[in-house]
């Protein structure tokens, strides 16, 4: 059955994320140190607060400096923090194809540095009817609150929506709320899944 709304994750669906590449510049090219830095930053309370909108970019930067994780000024940090994305062209093409037939909506754990950087470089927003972002609503996947916020903003019931995400835990959380969901493992399998649901046709299998 075709869906009234397709909820799309951003990182590692529409764009690939390589934070280690970004952190190599901060560790003098030491890959092991870069991997350790990524793990420490992502696991830090400051990162959770940044994505949930409880602190801004200068506050995030200051917290990482205070924790001894980075030794960069704010401009240098902002460059490092955004230099980790490449476009998944296949996923974007599927979003654009689906958006011609179904409402598409972004549902992402992201922050006020990443989101404008990504959407300023690649044509993602023109295919979206809206976006529910963690730093704007104060909740992060897999917290049920962010899924409910997206459904409420879009005006659809859980059973009318589908969700695409690369993390099994986020997909499981969506399914627990009654949202159809799939783990993104590549464009070919996602295309098959969307076709099977009728989301890439003018009318779905239920005649909508």
Query: In this predicted structure, what is the pLDDT of residue 203?
Result: 58
In which element (H, E) is residue 193 found? helix 187-197
In which element (H, E) is residue 59 found? helix 57-66
Output the tens digit of pLDDT for each of the chain's 208 residues. Answer: 899 999 999 999 999 999 998 888 888 899 999 999 999 999 999 999 999 999 999 999 999 999 999 999 999 999 989 989 999 999 999 999 999 999 999 999 999 999 999 999 999 999 999 999 999 999 999 999 999 999 999 999 999 999 999 999 999 999 999 999 999 999 999 999 999 999 998 754 444 3
What does the domain layout of the chain look like in residue ranges? 5-16+86-197, 19-82
Query: In this predicted structure, what is the pLDDT of residue 206?
Result: 42
In which element (H, E) is residue 165 found? strand 161-165
Gap between the Cα atoms of 150 and 107, Å rounded: 7
Question: CA 145, 10, 200: angle at the middle one, nearest 5?
Answer: 100
SS3 readout for 120-174: HHCCCHHHCCEEEEHHHHCCCCCCHHHHHHHHHHHCCCHHHEEEEECCHHHHHHH
Query: In this predicted structure, what is the pLDDT of residue 207?
Result: 40
Strand partners, 16: 86
Output the CA–CA distances (angstroms, integers) from residue 37 to 25, 32, 42, 136, 158, in the order listed: 11, 9, 9, 26, 38
Span 5-16+86-197 CATH architecture: 3-Layer(aba) Sandwich (3.40)
Gap between the Cα atoms of 11 and 88, Å rounded: 10
pTM of the model: 0.94
Angle, helices 89-99 vs 187-197, to 10°: value is 20
């Amino acid at each position: 059955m075709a869906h009234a709304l397709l909820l799309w994750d951003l990182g590692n669906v529409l764009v690939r994320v390589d934070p280690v590449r970004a952190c190599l510049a901060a560790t003098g090219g030491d890959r092991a140190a870069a991997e350790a830095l990524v793990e420490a930053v992502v696991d830090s309370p400051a990162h959770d607060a940044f994505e949930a909108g409880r602190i801004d970019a200068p506050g995030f930067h200051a917290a990482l400096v205070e924790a001894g994780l980075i030794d960069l000024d704010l401009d240098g940090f902002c460059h490092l923090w955004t230099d980790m994305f490449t476009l998944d062209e296949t996923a974007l093409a599927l979003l654009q194809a689906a958006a011609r037939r179904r409402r598409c909506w972004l549902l992402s754990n992201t922050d006020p540095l990443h989101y404008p950087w990504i959407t300023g470089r690649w044509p993602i927003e023109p295919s979206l009817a809206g976006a529910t972002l963690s730093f704007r609503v104060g909740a992060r996947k897999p917290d049920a609150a962010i899924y409910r916020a997206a459904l409420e903003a879009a005006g659809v019931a859980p059973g009318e929506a589908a969700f695409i995400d690369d993390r099994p835990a986020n997909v499981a959380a969506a399914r627990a709320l009654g949202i159809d969901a799939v783990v993104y493992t590549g464009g070919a399998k996602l295309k098959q899944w969307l076709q099977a649901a009728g989301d890439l046709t003018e009318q779905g299998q239920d005649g909508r």
